[in-house]
Amino acid sequence: MSENNNYLKTDGTITNLDIIPTFIDELEKALKAHDWTYAYSDDHRVWKRGQAERERIDELLSLAHRRGFTMMAARLYKKYKPDYC
């Protein structure tokens, strides 16, 4: 599937917010809220919650790829993933 770049300017910003699917919004919220250090927790509940969050993020990234929003999803991931992870 070819990349759908009609929604991006050359600097990577979005040109038309009306065409962004809801799963992209959900992905951004999930990335913002994700505990990127969950794997280091001694509390198993924290680890399980973080793992579930990570699995949902992976599902949304896969959906973005299948729907032709790979570049947008990758930019969001890079924006919110800390350098230490």
pTM of the model: 0.77
Residue 1's pLDDT is: 42
Q: Any idea where the domains of the chain sit in the sequence?
A: 17-80
14-26 pLDDT per residue, tens: 555 556 789 999 9
At residue 85 the predicted structure's pLDDT band, cuts being 50, 70 and 90, is confident
- Which one, of 18, 9, 22, 1, lies nearest residue 75 by Cα? 9
The pLDDT tens digits for 26-61 are 999 999 999 999 999 999 999 999 999 999 999 999
